[in-house]
Amino acid sequence: MTILALTGGVGGAKLSLGLVHILDPHEVTFVVNVGDDFEHLGLSISPDIDTLTYTLAGIVNQSTGWGREEESWDCLAELKRFEADTWFQLGDRDLALHLFRTGLIKSGKSLTEITEIICSRLGIDYKIVPATDASLRTHVLTDQGSLAFQDYFVRLQCKPKVTKLEYHQRIPASVSPAIKIDQISGVVICPSNPFLSIDPILEVDEIRSVLVERAFPVVAVAPIVGDRAIKGPTAKMMRELGMQVTCAGVARHYRDILDGYVIDNTDSHHASEIEALGMRVRTAPSIMHTLEDKIALAGACVDFLDELR
Ligand code: FO1
């Protein structure tokens, strides 16, 4: 039996790092968002998979939370000379991974198989699995029109006003074969952006339906503390979508799939409002600065799952 951790982006990778310090590889599977994936300069790029892979391998750039540590930028500088697209920062070491992945995709391997190969070459014993091997792409509808995810997020730096999210599937996306639905003992939804990181995972029908009809507990960690996102544009997007910008606003968004919700200590005044939605609340320090913070929050999630079982 295994816990699934649903994750995407930098906030998700932080809690995931905490989880690997308290769980063995057979006890947790990381299910990663692929809505951010795109093709750029002819390369297949899977940013959220790479953020988690680099984090668990201990080679992530600590200041950005994505990309490689000890990076160099010679290729990007040459691309600038050709007046190629350089708004998406691809470092030389990171490029090696994209070249490797793109070659394997061209040879017919699935993203699940490729991710497993990359993890094993980087010495990661844990299972990192894309939510689906099919094409599932997040599009952000804004006051500047419909934007592909990375256009919105990186090129336009989340400035356009969001009106709606869409998740485009060429064919109905089926769950990655590496996710064994009948082996799930619990689910942790990491404090990732609900619309950009978690909802695309829940767009995979089998994943959403197993969570709705669950035979195991599901807990989430609030990505909002006070009226601010722990990281990134979550609070701005919630405001633009007309949602209440508090941890309770996110709980309402997830209400069909949650048994438990971890909120920051400073937000304990929201507990009764959240419990009225039909879930239990646990308070914990949820801002993860140090490795100890990540391990403590991961421990609170796993204990909470045990309590709810
Ligand atoms: N995020 C940025 O804000 N700017 C970038 O130039 C950028 C480049 C990049 C390259 C490789 C990679 O794996 C991730 C990268 N990210 C960048 C992060 C990426 O946009 C993610 O989709 C977001 O962090 C959301 O999860």
58: left (phi over 0), alpha (psi -120 to 50) or beta: left
Average pLDDT on 131-148 reads: 98
Q: What is the mean pLDDT of residues 223-244?
A: 94
Average pLDDT over residues 290-295: 98
Mean residue pLDDT across the chain:
97
pLDDT score for 35: 98
The set of residues, in sequence order, having a beta carbon less than 8 Å from that of 184 and lying 6+ positions away, is 1, 2, 3, 4, 210, 216
Is the C-beta atom of 167 inside 6 A of ligand 1? no
As a whole number of angstroms, the distance between CA 142 and CA 165 comes to: 9
The band of 249, judged by pLDDT with boundaries at 50, 70 and 90, is very high
Across 144-163, average pLDDT: 98
Closest CA to 196 of 4, 18, 10: 10
By most ligand atoms within 8 Å of CB, the mutation choice from 36, 50, 85, 89 for ligand 1 is 89
pLDDT recorded at residue 304: 98
Burial bucket for residue 41 (CB in 10 Å: 0-12, 13-18, 19+): middle
Mean pLDDT in residue range 141-162: 98
Strand 38-40 and strand 127-130: pairing? unpaired
Q: What is the pLDDT of residue 265?
A: 97
Q: What angle do CA 243, 249, 252 make, to 5 degrees?
A: 110
Q: Is 88 in the pocket of ligand 1 (CB under 6 A)?
A: yes
pLDDT, residue 118, reads 98
Cα separation, 131 vs 135, in Å, equals 11
pTM above 0.95, yes or no: yes
Cβ 9 under 6 angstroms from ligand 1? yes
Q: What is the mean pLDDT of residues 201-209?
A: 97
- The finding on whether 37 has its CB within 6 A of some atom of ligand 1 is no
pLDDT per residue over 182-194, tens digit each?
A: 999 999 999 999 9
The CA distance from 97 to 114, in Å, is 11
Answer whether 90 contacts ligand 1 (Cβ < 6 A): yes
Tokens for 235?
A: 């609070």
In short, whether 89's Cβ falls inside 6 Å of ligand 1 is yes
47 lines ligand 1 (CB under 6 A): yes
Q: Are 180 and 137 in contact (CB under 8 A)?
A: no
pLDDT tens digits for range 42-93: 999 999 999 999 999 999 999 999 999 999 999 999 999 999 999 999 999 9
Which is the closest atom of ligand 1 to the Cα of 54? Answer: 13
Cα of 118 from ligand 1 centre, angstroms: 19
Which residue among 43, 73, 76, 88 is best mutated to probe the pocket of ligand 1, counting the most ligand atoms within 8 A of its Cβ?
A: 88
pLDDT band of residue 231 (cuts 50, 70, 90) is confident
- Lowest-pLDDT choice from 80-94, 149-163, 228-242: 228-242
- Residue 230 pLDDT level (bands cut at 50, 70, 90): confident
Cα separation, 92 vs 47, whole angstroms: 15
Q: Is 50 in the pocket of ligand 1 (CB under 6 A)?
A: yes
Fill in the amino acid letter for 17. L
Nearest to 66 by CA among 231, 226, 296, 292: 231
What is the percent of the chain with per-residue pLDDT over 70, rounded to a whole number? 100
Give the pLDDT score at 179. Answer: 97
Specify the pLDDT at position 248. 98
Supply the pLDDT for residue 40.
98
Q: 9 falls in which pLDDT band (50, 70, 90)?
A: very high
The two structure tokens encoding residue 140: 């952000």
What pLDDT does 126 receive?
Answer: 98
Whether 157 lines ligand 1, by a CB cut-off of 6 Å, is no
Name the closest-CA residue to atom 12, ligand 1: 47
Is the pLDDT at 288 greater than 90? The verdict is: yes
For 253-270, the pLDDT digits (tens) are 999 999 999 999 999 999
Strands 28-32 and 127-130: parallel
- Pairing between strand 2-7 and 184-189? parallel
Distance 48 CA to ligand 1 centre (A): 8
